[in-house]
A and B are shown apart, each in its own frame.
Chain A
Amino acid sequence: MSYLAPYRDMQSLMRQAHQALGLSQFSSLDDYDLDLADAIIDEANKFASQVLAPLNQVGDTVGCRLEDGQVLTPPGWKEAYQQFCEAGWLGLALPEEYGGQGLPKYIAQPVNEMWQSSNLAFVMFAALAQGGTEILQKFANDDIKDRYLSRIVSGEWTVAMALTEPNAGSDLGVLTTKALRQSDGTYQIKGQKIYITYGEHDMAENIVHLVLARTPDAPSGSRGLSLFAVPKYRVQDDGQLSEFNDIRCTGIEHKTGLHGSPTCSISYGDKDACIGELIGEENQGLKAMFILMNEARLSCGLQGVALGELAFQKSLTYAHERVQGSIAGQGRVAIIEHPDVRRMLLDMRSQTYALRALGYRIAAMIDAKENSDDHQHVSRVAQQIALLTPIFKGFATEQANLTAGSAIQVFGGMGFVEETGIAQVMRDARITTIYEGTTGIQAKDLLHRKVRLDQGAALDELLASMRTDASLAQSNADLGLLAERFEGVLNTLEKVQRHILSDQADITELDAVAVPYLMALGGICSAWQLLTSAYRAAEQQDQDKEYFGNVMLLASFYFNNQLPKFEASLHTVLQSGSEVSQYRF
């Protein structure tokens, strides 16, 4: 089996998150208890390991093809998509009102992790359906909702997000695609977009492009962007499909990774016959995009967890099989017997475990936010989610790249050979630090919008939660030392915070250390989650010495091997200098 869900870890961390956020207090979640969650991840695991995982390498080696403007997905994709939708997985966390299952995020998170581990390239459409549904639900008028939503939730139609243009990538304000208002209230769309995931494919009968464009009298910059639903085939008033909407795929990218997911260049309205329907108000497009963006960033962070897990599983299997070198008294041994290989495996496992814990916690926070009636609580949780989003996205994806690199190292020479499949994980992971906002952009978002803007209030609250959990861990004899060290790191972090918030801080210098700052916070959040897991493990140790003993070892391994690196990053921030602005390139 090329992938099996880490069922035990998932169960355990789902419970950790569920408890931390007190989800059992919400009666609206009564129908979605942990037993149901277990049953669902059990079944999802079967689908992931038996249907999606076997297609992962096929997707990579065969990839997508463009023939006469038509994108052909890899062999097996179409059938798997059919099965995926029929089994109801697409509707997992989509609204019940339109045929979805409306499951809470804390259950959806491990399920999504499985899809992403088993076949990330394939499952890109699911996050698009999720984000697209959310946008239409919040911003579109009832007419558009009625005609589009149930078809999207069922998977009959897919969603594509059309933002980027050749000259407008991270800088959306300069995009030029035009939308001309017509007498019937619709808009004529004209322009070129690139990097459109699943912008064209052969898996569904229609594709709904959500296109950012500019009306003629719109203000310049990002405040002049409007969002349009632009279907590949026009949708009549009764919801039936009519004529082709003048949308052409002019090319697909030849990418480093994610070969199975078509990344399309799309030309809208070559023949002036591309019609779009406005979503929400004119010039409000960016607001809608922000919702999508946050969703996408959290999903992207989870991709880091998922690929880290896949890299770990493949490395572990290989390390057990590959006999190389000998150990005195044992003769020739499998490489898993070598301490350095074990160190690499533990690096991968501890980091992935910690980030899974953080990812599941964020999911449970979203559930708490959506189910609580206490407005103050809701806005506090929302603030924490906003703070953790760039940390999770930036850090989890950076670490996934390191993990995938370590995995290749475990494979040795065979890791550099494509047939083993491990190089695919590295290539697939490479984009995750770039799309949905690069690590640099996440770091600036963190530094300015999430920390400096509120004078560190949200971060103070996060630190308070960390200190509470650390003092709990301190009460346990086995964890006292770790908790103490963790407190020490938090003290340094507070020093860094004063440095960042000080009136004398030089913004250019701070920007230059924003990424080390994000990485430090990511490492500290990981250590926090592992300490929490270790505390829970210590409490349950009698039930299963091996498993819970291992969890405690993961925590102390991370504290010894990883945390010091992130402490060093804190010092980097404190010592931020002017080299980047003074050096002449």
Chain B
Amino acid sequence: MKILVGVKRVIDYNVKVRVKADNSDVDLSNTKMAINPFCEIAVEEAIRLKEAGIASEVIAVSVGTSACQEQLRTALALGADRAILVESDAAVEPLNVAKAFAKVMEQEQADLVILGKQSIDSDNNQVGQMLAALTKRPQGTFASKVDVEGQSVAVTREIDGGLRTVKLALPAIVTTDLRLNEPRFAKLPDIMKAKRKPLDTTSFADLGVKAKQHIQLDKVEAPAARQGGVKVASVDELIQKLKDEAKVI
């Protein structure tokens, strides 16, 4: 069984996000970048399936600039067998990414695609669903448990107020939630070996995908600075403030 796993390069979650002076975008110049944490969970799940003898090959795929090689190498160090970079300097948009993945999935004859449910930079939560629609394959999103059984996969999904388990025929698309697993640390010898694992570069054009711009970024603003709180003297005062000032009740 072949698994494709998505790897997105995003700002490191430990880094304080800065907005560009002209509010045109987030300032990513010279900022520490990392694998999107949900993608890291996807990589971990794929590697566990390989270690369990269920998967035969794990391929890490990223869409973006050549800098994404850094994150693909991390995925290789964690245990992916090879990597594919769909190189593009354009802004990474969900539909374009989904289309690229659909092509790679077809080319590679992948049986399972594991993606992060969303990325911590744009929080779209769309690629997995779009990919399922484009390929007309079943989807199991927000997975907290993944069990491959023969030609199908049982996915336990985290939904409002509980868990729902769905059984999908392979090939299928799974997107990971936070509690699916706890990603490992890469081992030092594996970081060195990752340098020698194959990393192929392709492009939207090579894949026959027309990458269109669907989204226009109008502006980015830093969150409003937090105002200092006040102490209320009584419950009545609190209710009054919630009504009149916060206007929430």
Report 5 cross-chain contacts, Cβ distance below 8 Å, ordered by A residue.
A36-B191, A39-B191, A83-B185, A87-B185, A544-B29
- CB contacts (< 8 Å) of A42 on chain B: these are 34, 74
In the A-B complex, the 5 residue pairs with the smallest Cβ-Cβ separation, listed nearest first, are A88-B188, A544-B30, A87-B187, A88-B187, A88-B189
Contact of A101 among B30, B74, B192 (CB under 8 A): B192
Which residues of A (274-313) have their CB < 8 Å from a CB of B?
none
- CB contacts (< 8 Å) of A35 on chain B: these are 70
A43 interface residue, CB < 8 Å from B? yes
B9 interface residue, CB < 8 Å from A? no
Query: Closest CB-CB distance, B55 to chain A, in whole Å?
Result: 23
A residues with a Cβ closer than 8 A to B are: 1, 4, 7-8, 31, 35-36, 38-40, 42-43, 46-47, 50-51, 83, 86-89, 91-92, 101, 543-544, 547
Q: With A1-B14, A4-B14, A543-B30 as given contacts, are A36 and B185 in contact (CB-CB < 8 Å)?
A: no
Distance between Cα atoms of A50 and B186 in the complex (Å): 13
- CB contacts (< 8 Å) of B191 on chain A: these are 36, 39-40, 43
Q: With A4-B14, A36-B192, A39-B70 as given contacts, are A543 and B29 in contact (CB-CB < 8 Å)?
A: yes
Determine if A39 and B29 form an interchain contact, defined as CB atoms under 8 angstroms apart. Answer: no
Distance between Cα atoms of A381 and B77 in the complex (Å): 35
Q: Give B60-102 as 1s and 0s: 1 = Cβ < 8 Å from A's Cβ atoms.
A: 0000000000100110010000000000000000000000000
Query: Closest CB-CB distance, B229 to chain A, in whole Å?
Result: 13
Q: With A1-B14, A39-B73 as given contacts, are A101 and B188 in contact (CB-CB < 8 Å)?
A: yes
Q: Give B29-49 as 1s and 0s: 1 = Cβ < 8 Å from A's Cβ atoms.
A: 110101000000000000000
Determine if B74 and A8 form an interchain contact, defined as CB atoms under 8 angstroms apart. Answer: no
Query: Closest CB-CB distance, A324 to chain B, in whole Å?
Result: 15
Distance between Cα atoms of A343 and B34 in the complex (Å): 33
- CB contacts (< 8 Å) of A547 on chain B: these are 30
Dominant secondary structure of chain A at its interface with chain B: helix
Distance between Cα atoms of A1 and B16 in the complex (Å): 13
- CB contacts (< 8 Å) of B189 on chain A: these are 88, 91, 101
Q: Give B205-246 as 1s and 0s: 1 = Cβ < 8 Å from A's Cβ atoms.
A: 000000000000000000000000000000000000000000
B residues with a Cβ closer than 8 A to A are: 14, 29-30, 32, 34, 70, 73-74, 77, 185-192, 194-195
- CB contacts (< 8 Å) of B29 on chain A: these are 543-544
Q: With A1-B14, A36-B195, A101-B192 as given contacts, are A43 and B30 in contact (CB-CB < 8 Å)?
A: no
- CB contacts (< 8 Å) of A50 on chain B: these are 185
Q: With A7-B32, A543-B30, A544-B30 as given contacts, are A40 and B188 in contact (CB-CB < 8 Å)?
A: yes
- CB contacts (< 8 Å) of A39 on chain B: these are 70, 73-74, 77, 191, 194
Q: With A36-B192, A101-B192 as given contacts, are A46 and B30 in contact (CB-CB < 8 Å)?
A: no
Distance between Cα atoms of A178 and B215 in the complex (Å): 80
- CB contacts (< 8 Å) of A543 on chain B: these are 29-30
For residue B33, which residue of chain A has the nearest CB? A42
- CB contacts (< 8 Å) of A38 on chain B: these are 70
- CB contacts (< 8 Å) of B77 on chain A: these are 39, 43
Distance between Cα atoms of A4 and B187 in the complex (Å): 19
Determine if A87 and B188 form an interchain contact, defined as CB atoms under 8 angstroms apart. Answer: yes
Query: Closest CB-CB distance, A259 to chain B, in whole Å?
Result: 26
- CB contacts (< 8 Å) of A88 on chain B: these are 187-190
Query: Closest CB-CB distance, B136 to chain A, in whole Å?
Result: 38
Determine if B30 and A47 form an interchain contact, defined as CB atoms under 8 angstroms apart. Answer: no
Distance between Cα atoms of A40 and B77 in the complex (Å): 10
Distance between Cα atoms of A547 and B190 in the complex (Å): 32
Query: Closest CB-CB distance, A171 to chain B, in whole Å?
Result: 40
Distance between Cα atoms of A91 and B74 in the complex (Å): 20
Contact of A43 among B14, B32, B185, B195 (CB under 8 A): B185
Among B77, B185, B194, chain A packs the most CB atoms within 10 A around the CB of B185
Distance between Cα atoms of A40 and B185 in the complex (Å): 11
Distance between Cα atoms of A7 and B14 in the complex (Å): 11
- Beyond A38-B70, A40-B191, A43-B191: 6 further Cβ-contacts under 8 Å? A36-B192, A39-B73, A43-B77, A89-B188, A543-B29, A544-B30
Distance between Cα atoms of A92 and B73 in the complex (Å): 19
Q: With A7-B32, A543-B29 as given contacts, are A92 and B188 in contact (CB-CB < 8 Å)?
A: yes
Among A51, A83, A87, A547, chain B packs the most CB atoms within 10 A around the CB of A87
For residue B190, which residue of chain A has the nearest CB? A88
Distance between Cα atoms of A86 and B189 in the complex (Å): 10
Query: Closest CB-CB distance, B14 to chain A, in whole Å?
Result: 6
Distance between Cα atoms of A92 and B192 in the complex (Å): 11
Distance between Cα atoms of A39 and B14 in the complex (Å): 17
- CB contacts (< 8 Å) of B185 on chain A: these are 43, 46-47, 50-51, 83, 87
- CB contacts (< 8 Å) of A4 on chain B: these are 14
Contact of A91 among B14, B30, B32, B188 (CB under 8 A): B188
- CB contacts (< 8 Å) of A7 on chain B: these are 32
